[in-house]
Structure 1
């Protein structure tokens, strides 16, 4: 018969063994300060101080790892310091905001074009339909369009529709 606390004891042993399996690296920064972490920055000479597997030697960060469980080395183009990562984040955010603003301007422009086209087509239909049309002269007086003015107005609208509407 097994002891009632046996599964708990086994679980406790497993949980205490898990942190020991992680690798810990040590490296010096450009100011000569020593840092410790689970993943050194790219291009920095780091030594494994804990968690090295048997036969695994301490090596420089960025070298290819023979085991599949090691993370891939950082590319030389990826930012390594916090300030560089933050700057890259700000640049991506600014580019996204600029793209969003450009898309909003294009959408507004398309909306204005659609409104113009709709209004111009309605006015052209009214001109062709024979409705009485009025325009205001320089003095602010109403003038009714005669047949010649109606035809000129229709031609001008047709040109504008052809140029701006598809």
Structure 2
């Protein structure tokens, strides 16, 4: 079964290779480099060694040349620069994770504080894992703790 698919893929791709055309390069009067599979007549065009995906029929009219984007003026990145860039990206990722966790904690503490201040019946988990209803004193302590968490986590650091 796999051999049949492999032979089918080869049969489908084989015609594409037969139509490949040579790519030529040349400079125009202003010194700009151009690339095309059909150089204009009267121009010293040199083959690049690259091919296109489709061979064109020879023509006396030149095809629209491709312009080359200017090369970057920055030198290539050194291994040290790459390592420094990766370290900065890792620090940014870690800061984003910390910020996301801070925002989650702020949101949770804010919801808890609103619930406690609303006067709704509130429970907590006791030392043995059983639910314990908060009395007024326990509610005030929980409100104070929630306010402290909100103060710490909901302020955006500079």
Largest Rg, 1 or 2: 1
Structure with larger RCO (C-alpha < 8 A, sep 6+): 2
